[in-house]
Amino acid sequence: MEKITINTSCCRSEILVGEKWETAFGMLPEKGVVIITDDNVNRLYGNKFQKIPVFSIKPGEASKKLEVIESLAAKLLEEGIDRSGFILAAGGGVVCDVAGFLASIYMRGIRCGYISSTLLSQVDASTGGKNGVNLGDTKNMLGTIRQPEFVICDPEMLQTLPGQEYLSGLAELIKTAIIGDKELFDHIERSSDQILSRNSGLLTSLVAKSVRFKGLVVSEDEFETGLRRILNFGHTYGHAIEMHKGVKHGFAVASGMELATEFSFEKGLINYEEKSRIIRLLNRFELIEELDISYDQLEKLVLHDKKKTGSEIHFVFTNGIGKGIVEKVPVIDVLDFYKRFRAKN
């Protein structure tokens, strides 16, 4: 087990990688606790949730909306949860987003902690304190930043994930490697067969590497005013693809990373060999989606991207495997590159 601590200006968050998920129950207050989970996780693990009230939501992106937050808040009130209350989220990225958002606004903020049950959540979504819900077809437009007191990443929970859900998480792991850890990228390349067989020891090591990197970034820039923007590599195109096609987050981001890598190559920021390695690794796990989103549809979605300021957007490029850089570029350049890429492919 590895403990990774994130210190920010207001709080301290501990990420426990390789710990058994049941450990969470020894870290909770004696009273005033509720569990927020989804129907899939509740079906698999609910019989071990002890005698704690459980509120279960439907799995998937459709639950990331204000109506769900409002319904859960009413249930907290009915349960008698006050400002000393504690929300334990048990699930993947959607559950952690919803629970963290709710914890940050209920009675102006109550405590929370996460049991992270998916690879996507363990390597990315549950670390860093970002909580968001969607506004129509715009992803994570409404959000807060609130650090959980703890996050438990149990590799054994990954054994019960459906195949597509597991692969979706690999995309965010690869993203971390591209923007910040060349050794991690090399490790993923060498170990693809073991990764696909879900070797628990290997997954603990890879998740810990990813969390350590993100923890360093978040500790330096909690509110995404500078360095933290590099974590959005692949997300400008990826969020548009995700909302348009309704595919899982990781697959959409993988397609976004393909585009961002090709864009980086066109600008002379990355050489052909490294570009090919990135695309090859994404294809090794069959992550890249067919790009059937039209220019007009992409334009509409990118113009609603929260990273946009005026006619420009903070776009993340790769300057070589292991190094991400952020440049403020005109939105029209992002859209025109997509048009050129589609014309060639």
The model's pLDDT over 165-206, given as tens digits with 9 standing for 90+, comes to: 999 999 999 999 999 999 999 999 999 999 999 999 999 999
For range 242-268, the mean pLDDT: 95
For range 149-164, the mean pLDDT: 96
For range 150-171, the mean pLDDT: 96
Contact yes or no for 126/116 (Cβ under 8 A): yes
Q: According to the model, what pLDDT value does residue 78 have?
A: 97
User: What is the pLDDT confidence band of residue 306, given thresholds at 50, 70 and 90?
Assistant: confident
CA distance 129 to 212: 15
Question: Average pLDDT of the chain?
Answer: 94
User: What is the pLDDT confidence band of residue 132, given thresholds at 50, 70 and 90?
Assistant: very high
The CATH number given to 2-160 is 3.40.50.1970
CA distance 115 to 21: 6
Residue with tokens 């990781």: 250
Q: Do domains 2-160 and 163-344 have the same CATH topology?
A: no
Q: Which residues pair with 118 in a beta bridge?
A: none
CA distance 221 to 282: 28
Retrieve residue 200's tokens.
């628990």
CA distance 293 to 4: 39
Contact yes or no for 102/36 (Cβ under 8 A): yes
10 Å Cβ neighbour count for 195? Answer: 21
pTM here? 0.93
The angle subtended at Cα 326 by Cα 325 and Cα 328, nearest 5°, is: 150
3-class DSSP state of 56: strand
User: What is the pLDDT confidence band of residue 24, given thresholds at 50, 70 and 90?
Assistant: very high
Contact yes or no for 341/258 (Cβ under 8 A): no
Q: Spell out the domain ranges in the chain.
A: 2-160, 163-344
Q: According to the model, what pLDDT value does residue 10 have?
A: 76
Retrieve residue 255's tokens.
């397609």
Tell me: the pLDDT tens digits for 45-76?
999 999 999 999 999 999 999 999 999 999 99
Please say if the pLDDT value at position 94 is more than 90: yes
For range 215-230, the mean pLDDT: 90
3-class DSSP state of 323: coil
User: What is the pLDDT confidence band of residue 32, given thresholds at 50, 70 and 90?
Assistant: very high
3-class DSSP state of 69: helix
Instruction: Count how many residues are written for the chain.
Output: 345
Please say if the pLDDT value at position 285 is more than 90: yes
Lowest mean pLDDT among 18-27, 112-121, 153-162, 304-313: 304-313
List for the chain the helix, strand, coil content (%; round to 5).
55, 20, 25
Q: Beta 312-318 vs 324-330: how paired, if at all?
A: antiparallel
CA distance 14 to 127: 9
For range 139-162, the mean pLDDT: 94
User: What is the pLDDT confidence band of residue 292, given thresholds at 50, 70 and 90?
Assistant: confident
Q: According to the model, what pLDDT value does residue 56 have?
A: 98
Higher pLDDT, 241 or 10: 241
Give the Å distances, CA to CA, from 315 to 28, 116, 306, 334.
40, 29, 12, 8
Closest alpha carbon to 121 in 142, 163, 148, 151: 151
Please say if the pLDDT value at position 153 is more than 80: yes
Contact yes or no for 276/192 (Cβ under 8 A): no
Q: What percentage of the chain carries pLDDT values higher than 90?
A: 81
Q: According to the model, what pLDDT value does residue 301 have?
A: 87
Class of the CATH domain delimited by 163-344: mainly alpha
Retrieve residue 16's tokens.
């426990």
CA 12 from centre of chain: 20
